[in-house]
């Protein structure tokens, strides 16, 4: 993992956007797997501003994870986030993602796994780092699932700003597994803010543990982590 320390979040966003656009141009028909949440938002906004620099129509977008049990049009879904920040402003036509309100969760996991198996490897995967070290909804545990699955959510994830106060009693999240993520050709990991300092320090120790799922990124040959310890 290559760590780039940034003085400001603006610098982080700029450097990460540069890396993503450069990689998309090196593989124009990329399968791009995209995280949601606060960490990548500024990066996606820069990509929209700079969309003339790459061919968004050639990209296939894959949703990294999703809250299970929310209506698909609920504002807190990963679906609505991606529609707002990537799909609509970039007029992207090729998109596959979990149905947050699928009637059969196991069948939904199989559907996404079948898509992934048919299109692997992911060319570029944009991740976020959870405050407890989770990657997507691969939560700290004694064991980690390798492939697409329905994951029990920890208290940390259930207190995420996306769904806190939503009024829905959520228990699970759909997610790609760690093996699916680690097969990606390239991974971008933006991390910033005072609330991520402690978990980032643990990650920087370089010790690999299922209780810190993000630590498995040390096993990948091409991870670029852009880190700013500040909130702005």
The string of pLDDT tens digits covering residues 18-47 is 999 999 999 989 999 999 999 999 999 999
The residue among 165 and 184 whose pLDDT is bigger is: 184
Q: Is the previous residue joined to 121 through a cis bond, with omega within 30 degrees of 0?
A: yes
The string of pLDDT tens digits covering residues 43-102 is 999 999 999 999 999 999 999 999 999 999 999 999 999 999 999 999 999 999 999 999
Catalytic positions are 65, 132, 134, 139
Task: Report all structural domains of the chain as residue ranges with CATH numbers, in order of start.
Answer: 2-228 (3.40.50.1360)
Query: How much is the pTM?
Result: 0.95
The string of pLDDT tens digits covering residues 101-147 is 999 999 999 999 999 999 989 999 999 999 999 999 999 999 999 99
Distance, CA of 180 to CA of 201 (rounded, Å): 25
List, in sequence order, every beta strand (DSSP E) within the chain: 2-5, 31-34, 60-63, 65-67, 94-96, 124-126, 149-152, 172-175, 186-192, 223-228
Question: Can you give the pLDDT at residue 202?
Answer: 97
């Amino acid at each position: 993992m290559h760590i780039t320390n940034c003085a400001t979040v603006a610098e982080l966003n700029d450097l990460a956007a540069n890396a993503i656009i450069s990689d998309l141009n090196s593989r124009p028909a990329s399968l791009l797997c995209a995280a949601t949440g606060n960490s990548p938002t500024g990066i996606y906004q820069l990509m929209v501003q700079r969309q003339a620099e790459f061919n968004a129509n050639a990209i296939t977008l894959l949703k990294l994870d999703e809250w299970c049990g929310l209506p698909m049009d609920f504002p807190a879904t990963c679906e609505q986030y991606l529609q707002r920040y990537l799909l609509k402003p970039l007029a992207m036509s090729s998109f596959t993602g979990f149905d947050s309100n699928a009637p059969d969760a196991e069948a939904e996991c199989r559907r996404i796994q079948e898509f992934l198996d048919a299109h692997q490897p992911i060319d570029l995967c944009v991740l976020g780092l959870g405050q407890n070290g989770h990657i997507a909804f691969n939560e700290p545990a004694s064991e980690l699932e390798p492939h697409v699955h329905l994951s029990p959510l920890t208290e940390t994830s259930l207190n995420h700003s996306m769904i806190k106060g939503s009024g829905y009693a959520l228990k699970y999240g759909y997610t790609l597994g760690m093996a699916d993520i680690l097969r990606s050709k390239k991974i971008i990991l933006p991390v910033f803010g005072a609330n991520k300092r402690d978990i980032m320090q643990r990650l920087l120790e370089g010790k690999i543990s299922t209780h810190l799922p993000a630590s498995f990124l040390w096993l990948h040959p091409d991870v670029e982590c852009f880190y700013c310890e500040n909130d702005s």
